[in-house]
Amino acid sequence: MDNNNNFLIPANSKKSQLILSFFRPVDLAIFITGVSITILLLVIIDSTEMGVMLMLLAPALIATFLVAPVPHYHNVMTLMGNIYRFYTGRKKYYWRGWCAGYGDSKTNKQ
């Protein structure tokens, strides 16, 4: 620490706040819930058909897919949330160029 109270924060300090350096608590809750539902369904329903087995494994597969890592994002769930907010959020773009004015054309105020 120097005299100006400046601190050097390591680049990986965010990972120390995650469980096992990867999961947030909500990620673990989703994963554990999906796997628990799958195990419960496998115990209750006895089947050897491929289609039924895929349906029984679906909760664990979906939960695993949601918490899988994606480059530049935390996981697939974060990426899907950002895509949803991008397409449903309100966007307003301002253009200040030579061919378009901004606001009142006489005073150029909003």
pLDDT tens-digit series, residues 65-84: 999 888 878 889 889 999 99
Residue found under tokens 């895509």: 83
Q: Percent of the chain beyond pLDDT 90?
A: 39
State both tokens at 6: 């400046």
At residue 24, the pLDDT reads 83
* DSSP designation for 106: T
Q: What predicted TM-score, i.e. pTM, was given to this entire model?
A: 0.62
At residue 1, the pLDDT reads 47
Helices (H) and strands (E) in the chain, counts: 3, 0
Sign of torsion over alpha carbons 34, 40, 45, 46? positive
